[in-house]
Amino acid sequence: MADTDRLSGKASYWTFNGVVIPVTKQDVAYNRDFGKTTDSNDYAVAQDMLAHTQIPIAYQVEGSIEGRFRFTSAPSDLIAGAVTSLTQIPCVFGLNGSAVQGHGLVDLFNLKISVPVEDIVTYTADVKSWGAWTPNA
Amino acid sequence: MNPDLLASIISVMRLNAGLVASFGDSAVTPKFWSNYNAFQASAIDPVMPYLVFVEPNETKSYETADKATNNPSDAAIGMLVCDIYASTELGVRQLGEQLCGVLNDCDNVINGLFYFRRTTQAMPPLPSTGPDASPTIFRRQIQFKYMYEETLV
């Protein structure tokens, strides 16, 4: 019986600018910025120290993509976009046919295409969210 | 892509008249074989020269669903080993070079392939000897690396 709680990435997908682009790996990082709010109330008497506290003030989602160069997608969807002012691109990080990590607008950067003579041509690229990100949907 | 990669490879070889002539390959006396263990039971092998391909390894490396077919695909990366048998050392070397001249970059003419090249070669000695203990069969072993793409359906 199939495991319904864990999963592999075999049915994952990456949608970028409305196009499902085949990839070999996606990494998604959820970064939050904090502001220190430490004041005299955070003084720990027994330790004779102030213990920092913070409040979340901002977040940004960053994704890293690894894939194989394909003429059907890499030139038009990635390379062209990497050298223009193209911004606020719709992006979805899909987990499988029914679940997604989230979606939102992103900007593409750090596109790197590796062309080894004796191996398959691959690329890596990073995206960074632009504005609000919708998690789990 | 033909599911029998070797059948496609041998078809390419048989389209090259020079290679066919060098080996003496014909419908009656085929000289291009695959996936059997050539064992010389006697000091003299009357069908030389000939060659045998074997497929020691192929690895599938998967991608997420393809944009066009909506099916996952994989890159199959593997190795073909070709053993060429001939009666002289120089002859077996020359046959090896001639074979590589035909097969290197044959991915350009085989649907689905996107890489095919010689990667390593060796001269593994064989125990077959004549009455004066001189070698009677020489073997040239050439490895080819290949890559092709296939889609899961």
Across chain A, mean pLDDT equals 95
Question: Cis (ω within 30 of 0) for the bond into B49?
Answer: yes
Q: Which residues of A touch B70 (CB under 8 A)?
A: 20
Beta bridge partners of B129: B135
Element (H, E) at B72: strand B72-86
Single pTM value for the model: 0.87
pLDDT beyond 60 at B2: no
Predicted ipTM of the assembly: 0.83
- CATH code, domain with B95: 3.30.2000.30
Number of domains in chain B: 1
User: Per the CB < 8 Å rule, is B64 touching A68?
Assistant: no
Alpha-carbon span B107 to B30, nearest angstrom: 24
Cβ pairs A/B, distance under 8 A: 45
Which structural domain range is residue B89 located in? 5-151
Asked if B73 and A22 come within 8 Å (Cβ–Cβ), the reply is: yes
**pLDDT score recorded for residue B117:** 98
Please tell me whether residue B80 adopts helix, strand or coil conformation.
strand
pLDDT above 60 (res A5)? yes
The tens digit of pLDDT for each residue in A69-115 reads 999 889 999 999 999 999 999 999 999 989 999 999 999 999 999 99
For the segment A4-11, the average pLDDT, to the nearest whole number, is 93
* B chain contacts of residue A9, beta-carbon cutoff 8 Å: 64
The better pLDDT of the pair B38, A137 is held by A137
CB contact under 8 A, A22 and B64: yes
Of the partner residues B67, B77, B147, the one whose CB lies closest to the CB of residue A19: B67
Residue B79: band (very low, low, confident or very high) from pLDDT cuts 50, 70, 90: very high
Which of A33, A34, A13 is closest to A25 using CA atoms? A13
What is the per-residue pLDDT across B96-116, written as a single tens digit (0 to 9) for each? 999 999 999 999 999 889 999
Q: Are B61 and B77 in contact (CB under 8 A)?
A: yes
